[in-house]
A and B are shown apart, each in its own frame.
Chain A
């Protein structure tokens, strides 16, 4: 395939992606929208120059591989070509985490309704992305399923609207939960198991620059068969756990600590155990109605 160039606008970032792998361009065209495409205008600044291509001619034909380049440099070992698209998404996460210190970035999903955003920090496997996908398919606005980007001055949450990455059983759970949801291709045998991406709803896409204010922080934990349980979590504990789950807290030093403390001051923090998505969503609706 000839090299395709995508000039992507994923606020607050602009990305130039070059690829000659059709698996990547197919997924980009399926999962991103026309709002993401920068058209015309030669005079552009790109935060990241990404290339996903076969590392050598030999690897184009023999056990083909894909390599991720950030401005000509390869920070990772190549992966089998079947994983070329998830490689782009992971690589982009790496670029953002490595070069973005003007915001505090937490590893968390963020969704919003009625201008009230909920932050869902999550350990891997806790069900943060599944819950996030279900909420997004039920009328909540997606800000991000991967990173809570916090403005250091105003403490607002910035959206980084990208496809929601779902793993293993979650893929089936969400396609049953929301039969109309649009999915990209399914990728098998990745480092995280089976991976597929949910296309963000149009409403979230259209509002992909609108910031939101944090209303609640919820640490979700999916436990099958468990009764739903919402337990208050102390602010101090929340700050410490968020710091552990941050991409760049250690770089921001004192400022990072101050921002986290201020973030939790006026809001409620909970641990949340759930087994049913329907129940969970009802609970979320009640939470934002309360105030």
Chain B
């Protein structure tokens, strides 16, 4: 597999000054890697922060500047969408917690700078789901998937409602009531997340810093989709760097993840953040991480994740990449639900696709 230090994008993120020595053909690859990985804006903002933008050749600079211009408009739109969602739920006094990208944006986390996303995710209380659904459906939001199998599947087994879309603005909204599917073995007690949620700008709730990292790790390491794997590992890296300014953070992250029964994904996150981006995880914490699995298990996981989390670009991949992505995809599904539920589900979805009845 490609060692991270051979990848220009990873070099540039670890040491932005290194880009000064890049020739035009190096910039050509860097811009493509960053775009494919979904971190072009993040790279632009990083170089700008290091006062390097005015030293970049004009052609790659155009692409970085374009990405930044796009992002400025995106942020403006996201702020507006969050406000709209808040207004809808406030009508019924329904509390909600903003999750993932939208939460990084609202909490002004470093991970939010340059982060573009297509859905807004919120967490609501399970007992209020019915009410939440009703208030959105009467405020201009519609379900994307309308066939009854998909609708039932989400409601019965998943940790979220089927995605909603605003009929006019096209924004997509995922409404969660837990972080992982109910069928998953590691479904945490969601009340604990609510208890530590904190208020940020605009009176909006987001998860506590430790829980924000944990959620990001769960999402990346249990979900099975790795198209944006590198961006997600970079998100966690930025969150960790920001929160660990308080030295006690590392200890509280480990104990919190143990308490929620989600220590495993956090261990993966710490190991691979350090591997790809040299995140300053303390030695003793990394030692704790190693103990999570035996040597063979780590060898397998390394084989998979050290490939799947590379930037999704042809210049970063080897011939085992597709296999690793495929295995992790299957793993993601197995973690979500037991086989006796998964197999009928996949057969049913496969049949729906073949017979042209798929919901999208």
Contact = CB atoms under 8 A, between A and B. Distances in A.
Contact of A46 (B28, B57, B65, B314): B28
A11 to B, nearest CB: 11
A99 interface: yes
Interface stretch (B69-77, B238-246, B347-355): B69-77
B59 A101 contact: no
A105 to B, nearest CB: 11
Contacts of A43: 23-25
Contact of B24 (A44, A102, A252): A44
A14 B23 contact: no
B192 to A, nearest CB: 40
A45 B66 contact: no
A110 to B, nearest CB: 20
B69 A72 contact: no
B25 A42 contact: yes
A99 B28 contact: no
Contacts of B63: 47, 99
B25 A45 contact: yes
Contacts of B32: 49, 71
A73 interface: yes
Contact of B60 (A45, A72, A100): A45
Interface in B61-98: 62-63, 65-67, 69-70, 72-73, 76
A252 B73 contact: yes
Interface in A242-261: 250-253
Given A73-B36, A100-B66, A102-B65, A45 B73 contact: no
Interface in A99-147: 99-102
B314 A102 contact: no
B27 interface: yes
Given A45-B24, A45-B27, A14 B59 contact: yes
Contacts of A46: 28
28 contacts: A14-B59, A43-B23, A44-B24, A44-B28, A45-B24, A45-B25, A45-B28, A45-B31, A45-B59, A45-B60, A47-B59, A47-B63, A71-B32, A71-B313, A72-B36, A72-B313, A72-B314, A99-B63, A99-B66, A100-B62, A102-B65, A102-B66, A102-B69, A250-B73, A251-B73, A253-B72, A253-B73, A253-B76
Interface of B: 23-25, 27-28, 31-32, 35-36, 57, 59-60, 62-63, 65-67, 69-70, 72-73, 76, 313-314
Interface of A: 14, 42-47, 49, 71-73, 99-102, 250-253
